[in-house]
Structure 1
Amino acid sequence: MENKMHSNGSSMGKCPFGHGSNTASSKTVTEWWPETLNLDILHQHDTKTNPFGKDFNYQEELKKLDVEALKNDVRNLMTDSQDWWPADWGHYGGLMIRMAWHAAGTYRVADGRGGGGTGNQRFAPLNSWPDNASLDKARRLLWPIKKKYGNKVSWADLIILAGTMAYESMGLKSYGFAFGREDIWHPEKDIYWGAEKEWLAPSDERYDSVDKPNTMQNPLAAVQMGLIYVNPEGVNGNPDPIKTGAQVRETFKRMAMNDEETVALTAGGHTVGKMHGNGDASILGADPEAANVEEQGFGWANPTKTGVGRDAVTSGIEGAWTTHPTKWDNGYFEMLFNHEWESVKSPAGAWQWEPVSIAEEDKPVDVEDSSIRNNPAMTDADMAMKMDPIYREISLKFKEDFEGFSDAFARAWFKLTHRDMGPKDRWFGPDLPQEDLIWQDPIPKGKKDYDVEAVKAKILDSGLSISDMVSTAWDSARTFRGSDFRGGANGARIRLAPQKDWSGNEPKRLQKVLSVLEPIAKAFGISVADTIVLAGNVGVEKAIKNAGMNVSVPFAPGRGDATAEMTDVESFEYLEPKADGFRNWQKEEYVVSPEELLLDRAQLMGLTAPEMTALIGGMRIIGTNHGGTKHGVFTENEGALTNDFFVNLTDMAYKWKPAKDGIYEILNRKTSEVKWTATRIDLVFGSNSILRSYVEVYAQDDSKEKFVNDFVDAWVKVMNADRFDL
């Protein structure tokens, strides 16, 4: 019997399957119940999607890599392999630079997420963003090289290396390059790209006022959904270089770039390559994620033309910025300042700027026929480099100092492409710069060989409470962000500005604790950073003994102490916690719920849902609440690391009701006596079905030792999260 098929391969008859793999045919739990707490961002740390075994070590694989051979292959690629995807002017440099730029350029300093450090451009939504049109071809051009070197180089490293080698092949002396980016194997669900439901929705949706760029919703940096930076045509597609310049400034600030770095990156990025808008963008095929299976991961197919060279359409703006688009030179500034410009429409209908008049020899040659010359073009952001007073001054300085511009760009490009890699302990390769850069958060090496037990004994006799020791160590370590590997206990920056004054760190209590621990560190000739963590371990071990058990908390010496001169105060302000559910504290009310803020903090710290659960239960019982509040301290034996939090949360002898100011009361069912108080953070562990499943494990009579061991493991993980030297 004939069974007709749709073009997408599905049967027109009744489907015989249960739709277990049809992700488009049924709702998810969060779609059925939108208010439920979505733990997916913590499951991101699950390793089940990784095709490598648990013993795979990328740093060890990198040691086998022939770096020079790889660099030569990538460099040669720039002018080879012109068969199936011909390059503009026979050079893939512009395409490879855009690929690397758009990978790294998603980084934002507010939460450290985005960036090129994970190879996430291979997955949706990034692989199908409108701003990333045709980058699918760039990655596929690299496939033969990735295939050749295999596990010895990650996609993340290869993508960024391709951009750097492209610049070198066109004449730029690069500042350096570091390998060490490890690939992920599924989309990063934890990254919030915006609430818009359509690509390139008007930027008004993410601003309180589009005329005030600093009102853009945090932690976003790009002005519209599907863009890397700003709209090249102008604010909401309307040319106005002054307004666009203001958006450029805010966007690049949110990427941790200052005005000089912004000008250098804008000019350097537009010194080579071209924009593509010589055609009708509306006829292009689906993006890679939506394309049919026969497209094999390619998108934006041009059904009527070749889609390359003169027919290429990506941004909709058409033209090169400089006279020699495959050469690193000062042509960008010369073109920008040596001509008057007017706004016109491209063949694709996009707003762009072209010279009012220009000599024929100053025009770039056609990408296919060198006997033809075409007008150069500029975006609204380019014109901002000329018309914004601050950008103009910097641009004119660079125009007169090509060497200074080249150095500024090389440094800014290195920062752009390495900002999310963390400290040098994570870097590998022969081209590492020797200079310590403040944005790397440098930390000197600490002493490793000393009598740890003697230090612990001194701390134990110091008179500090369990709460003070554990809370201070936690506050020092909780700043760690696995998104860009910043923060953490190493460096002991909790004793420096700005961290020493953060309200979440209880400055008065912090100074009292530091006044005890710093002399101990000095007496033993060790770092304050090590001493703070050791004190936390001492507190945990004491709490375990109070619970009738004896478990040692592992410790790895060797942390160093950063100085104020090593600390970028403005940059570190972004690491300030606005809430910490682990210490039952929130700075103020926010649009999102306290439990959502807890998940965000836990994900940044690299914790799984079970680890988060164990830590919450232990921190409550130890008595580490901010300000000493008793919310969630479900025990008669505070300071002993028991499983009482879980036992009493699940005890049906009690009932729960809202009180006031976001606080809940736990009442004896028979007497209605208030037994304990709690926050939403505490009660969500009993109300959410997934979290409750973990709570029930720890509440069992046979789980007392398991809970302590799991707490210790999670505690050590937090304390060592930034120890890339281990």
Structure 2
Amino acid sequence: MVDIHDEARSADRTDTSTFEMQGSCPFGGDTVGGAFGDSPTLETWYPDRLRVELLHTNGLAADPMGPDFDYAAAFATIDLAELKRDITTLLTTSVPWWPADYGNYGPQMIRMAWHSAGTYRIADGRGGAGTAMQRFAPISSWWDNGNTDKSRRLLQPIKHKYGSALSWADLIVLTGNCALELMGFPTYGFGGGRLDAWEADDASYWGPEVWDAANVASYDSMVTRDERWRGQNSDADYDLQNPLAASHQALIYVNPEGPYANGDPLGSARDIRITFSRMAMNDEETVALIAGGHAFGKSHGAVPADKIGPPPEIAPIEAMGLGWHNPQGAGNAENTMTNGIEGSWTPDPTQWDNSYLENLFAYDYQQSESPAGALQWTPTDPDAPRTPDAHVPGLTHPLMMMTSDIALKVDPAYRAVCEKFLTDFDTFTLAFSKAWYKLTHRDMGPKHRYLGPEVTIEDGLLWQDPLPEADHAPIDAADVDALKRRILAIGVGVPDLVVTAFSAASTYRDSDHRGGANGGRLALAPQKDWAVNRRTVPVVEALRAVKDEFDATAGGGKQVSLADLIVLAGCAAVEQAARDAGVETTVPFTPGRVDTTQELTDLEMFEWLRPVTDGFRNFVADEYAGVAATVAPEKLFLDRANLMTLTAPEWTALTGGLRVLGANHDASAHGVWTDRVGVLSTDFFVGLTDTDLEWSPADASGTTFVGRVRETGEARFTGTRHDLVFGSNAQLRSIADVYAAADGQRRFVADFVRAWDKVMMLDRFDVKGHKRYGSMAA
């Protein structure tokens, strides 16, 4: 931050009268403004502090569109054909401030879209193109995203023309599609519906490295073994820390020069397989994406990395949001510097063909060095085809391959896929088309969230978590009332009904809109077999009997889905629990869920939704024990609340309610600080804030605790870190005080019911539409 007192202080650091003499500054000290101080910050002082404020980022206050903006309605006003014509015209209209390679911006726009989508990771669903996070730090300033700022700036006139009807997130992906189509590639389709974020993502964990954007000048500087990898590249146990997917900080996938720029193709293949699988891609999809993407454009390494200026986030203010200033020549065109590798893979970089694979396998390659000093590969055969210069007419260059390209040739499994694509170009084309579609749509969730006339893809793509259409008449209000009475009469208690409904709904994660109660997957593998869900198995079977009875007797073609019935059972139980606490309430219930099948459930992909910890149900998996020393359970609890879009009050109310309702996964007494289990009381908060209790660890790991009466030493309660965090964290305790107060009961029931309904409706985009905010949203 600029200090307006620097000049005075440098003239005479001991003469404090200098400041008094100026007389014009109303602030004392070394900084201006109470909200803008230099380090140290709160995080500097308390690096292990639980950052509850992360639950309130990207909220309504940051969104200029307001709470009533309906993106689906706005997007429907666009003539998609006209929009695509506008984009295509832009792609072939080169501008002087950033000239197009080969007179065609298509290749660089493909890279922009690919890198926007390529941050997606299956472990927690974060990343991806869905909110256009490529515009914000840290992603905007990763070295691997060099010069994507130019691509987005080129698109600014189109964004301004279509305004709020076209999100940046949709525009980025659609531009990638238009670029492919312009160069002769048949895309598999496009679905709009991505809602822009309005502030930087401060919640996602991108790796343990302490990354200095100003000093990380190239891939070659990333040479130190970091903490994200276990074992050495050749070890059998070589693996990547969850939930990470990229091989190193500031990369999208892998270092193209090989692991830590070592030029090892086999090592590169191992990194590629791990990172692409973490991004939900199999071997065939991986090869299709790499070979398809490298059919176009070129890589840029004309200027040494240490000559390039800082990335956008720390560039000078006069750069107006653009980074990586290049001082060589015009700073672009034949002098462009992006990733340090220089050259093209094919003789015709703006045409879809199979020459990338043909060139890769037709020639032997030797290591060489780019003008920027990066490691790359060129053919040993002097008669190999040459590539045209992107800007200088008549000038040609040798073919270029990266270490990550040679990896496809030396890895046996990848080589087999390449050979299949070499002999069948149509198969390759279809594979790349489908893989690109998956790459750019993977984080959008179910297909009914897609918008626009190009959503013509067949139903049943397994990675979309397909749901069948309802084949029966829906239940009505009278049916709902009758079913509630029937459920409460089957002999299953309130705690079991509550934990079953919550277990079904709480798998949802807003990062990629996967999970949730719709589909009834709690009754299917793998979810029915998860340790955290064992308590729900007999409850689901009891509810299945209720369903069968209703379906057989309802008449009029009516049926109730098991998915609806599980949620309704939880709602009925919460109403009963509130009634027993002396508060009459109606828990909202919206029917319309359907039951999917085992065949439409991707076992491997849903296994990634299995929680290793779940603070709501006081669950910690056995395999998590070794991690607890480095990642506190309450931090993963906060992360789960964040993925469910909960606010701090919603998180607090839900947890306190689930405890007194007896919803621990194993029916344990941890946090159940009440003599009235199954009653929606404020007893959890009363116990939490009881100053007559003294808490101490109950085990050496410090994960469970005993609360004893101070005067007698009598053990009254037990709890976990998932429980005590609501008393130890200042922000959460302030909320708990509200519910523990004498007037807190009715407020607590109302807040719990609202939060409960929000969780039950998290995945109901079929009725919520494309609004970021609303009655259910934070």
User: Is residue 529 from structure 1 mapped to residue 563 from structure 2 by the alignment?
Assistant: yes
Q: Distance in 2 between matches of 1:528 and 1:345?
A: 62
Q: Which amino acid aligns with 1:76?
A: T
State the Cα deviation string for residues 48-80 of structure 1 (Å, max 9, x = none).
Answer: 111121111211211212211111111111111
User: Is residue 108 from structure 1 mapped to residue 142 from structure 2 by the alignment?
Assistant: no
Q: Which amino acid aligns with 2:508?
A: F
Match of 1:217 in 2: 241
Q: Which amino acid aligns with 2:232?
A: V
Q: Distance in 1 between matches of 2:296 and 2:131?
A: 26
User: Is residue 204 from structure 1 mapped to residue 225 from structure 2 by the alignment?
Assistant: yes
8 Å CA contact retained: 2:328, 2:335: no
State the Cα deviation string for residues 494-521 of structure 1 (Å, max 9, x = none).
Answer: 1111111100111xx3221122111212
State the Cα deviation string for residues 26-58 of structure 1 (Å, max 9, x = none).
Answer: 333232122221113212253211112111121
8 Å CA contact retained: 1:649, 1:686: yes
Q: Secondary structure at the match of 1:637?
A: coil
| Deviation for aligned residue 1:10 | 7.8
8 Å CA contact retained: 1:203, 1:210: no
Q: Secondary structure at the match of 2:635?
A: helix
| Deviation for aligned residue 1:24 | 5.9
Q: 1:665 aligns with which of 677, 690, 706?
A: 706
| Deviation for aligned residue 1:633 | 1.2
| Deviation for aligned residue 1:105 | 0.2
User: Is residue 697 from structure 1 mapped to residue 719 from structure 2 by the alignment?
Assistant: no
Q: Distance in 2 between matches of 1:598 and 1:671?
A: 33
User: Is residue 607 from structure 1 mapped to residue 646 from structure 2 by the alignment?
Assistant: yes
Q: Which amino acid aligns with 1:187?
A: A
State the Cα deviation string for residues 461-491 of structure 1 (Å, max 9, x = none).
Answer: 1111111100111111111010000001001
Q: Which amino acid aligns with 2:742?
A: D
Map 1:306-705 to 2 at 5 A.
306-359=330-383, 362-436=385-459, 437-446=461-470, 447-450=473-476, 451-506=479-534, 509-524=535-550, 525-588=559-622, 589=625, 590=627, 591-660=630-699, 662-705=703-746
8 Å CA contact retained: 2:98, 2:333: no
Q: Secondary structure at the match of 1:693?
A: helix
Match of 1:304 in 2: 328
Match of 1:275 in 2: 299
Q: 1:12 aligns with which of 7, 12, 33?
A: 7
Q: Secondary structure at the match of 2:599?
A: helix
8 Å CA contact retained: 1:547, 1:641: yes
8 Å CA contact retained: 2:58, 2:199: no
Q: Distance in 2 between matches of 1:185 and 1:488?
A: 26
8 Å CA contact retained: 2:125, 2:512: yes
8 Å CA contact retained: 2:131, 2:169: yes
Q: Secondary structure at the match of 1:725?
A: helix
Unaligned runs of 5+ in 1: none
Q: Distance in 2 between matches of 1:433 and 1:470?
A: 39
8 Å CA contact retained: 1:128, 1:287: yes
Change (3 A) 1:9 1:51: farther
Over the residues paired in the alignment, what is the CA RMSD in angstroms?
1.7
Q: Secondary structure at the match of 1:236?
A: helix
| Deviation for aligned residue 1:674 | 1.5
Match of 1:76 in 2: 89
Q: Secondary structure at the match of 2:60?
A: coil
8 Å CA contact retained: 1:19, 1:25: no
8 Å CA contact retained: 1:177, 1:432: yes
| Deviation for aligned residue 1:203 | 6.4
8 Å CA contact retained: 1:214, 1:250: no
Q: Secondary structure at the match of 1:652?
A: coil
8 Å CA contact retained: 2:659, 2:671: yes
| Deviation for aligned residue 1:16 | 5.2
| Deviation for aligned residue 1:652 | 2.0
Match of 1:122 in 2: 135
Q: Distance in 2 between matches of 1:153 and 1:349?
A: 41
Normalising by structure 2, what TM-score?
A: 0.90
8 Å CA contact retained: 1:614, 1:714: yes
Q: Secondary structure at the match of 1:628?
A: coil
Match of 1:87 in 2: 100
Match of 2:556 in 1: none
Q: Distance in 1 between matches of 2:434 and 2:166?
A: 24
Q: Distance in 1 between matches of 2:70 and 2:511?
A: 19
Q: Which amino acid aligns with 2:745?
A: K
Which is worse superposed, 519-528 or 271-280? 519-528
Number of corresponding residues: 718
| Deviation for aligned residue 1:282 | 1.1
Q: Secondary structure at the match of 2:666?
A: helix
Which is worse superposed, 665-674 or 639-648? 665-674
Which is worse superposed, 74-83 or 223-232? 74-83
Q: Secondary structure at the match of 1:702?
A: coil
8 Å CA contact retained: 1:274, 1:319: yes
Match of 1:31 in 2: 44
8 Å CA contact retained: 1:39, 1:599: yes
Match of 1:158 in 2: 171
Unaligned runs of 5+ in 2: 9-18, 20-24, 551-558, 768-778
8 Å CA contact retained: 1:82, 1:90: no
Q: Which amino acid aligns with 1:12?
A: E
State the Cα deviation string for residues 433-486 of structure 1 (Å, max 9, x = none).
Answer: 331210000012345334111111111111111111001111111110100000
8 Å CA contact retained: 2:94, 2:105: no
Q: Distance in 2 between matches of 1:587 and 1:32?
A: 32
Q: Which amino acid aligns with 2:423?
A: E
| Deviation for aligned residue 1:112 | 0.4
8 Å CA contact retained: 1:423, 1:485: yes
8 Å CA contact retained: 1:474, 1:536: yes
| Deviation for aligned residue 1:23 | 4.6
8 Å CA contact retained: 1:613, 1:694: yes
Which is worse superposed, 196-205 or 593-602? 196-205
Q: Distance in 2 between matches of 1:379 and 1:116?
A: 25
Q: Distance in 1 between matches of 2:408 and 2:687?
A: 63
Q: 1:261 aligns with which of 282, 285, 294?
A: 285
Match of 1:48 in 2: 61
Give identity over the alignment, percent.
Answer: 49
Match of 2:771 in 1: none
Match of 2:270 in 1: 246
Change (3 A) 1:327 1:494: same
Q: Distance in 2 between matches of 1:168 and 1:395?
A: 23
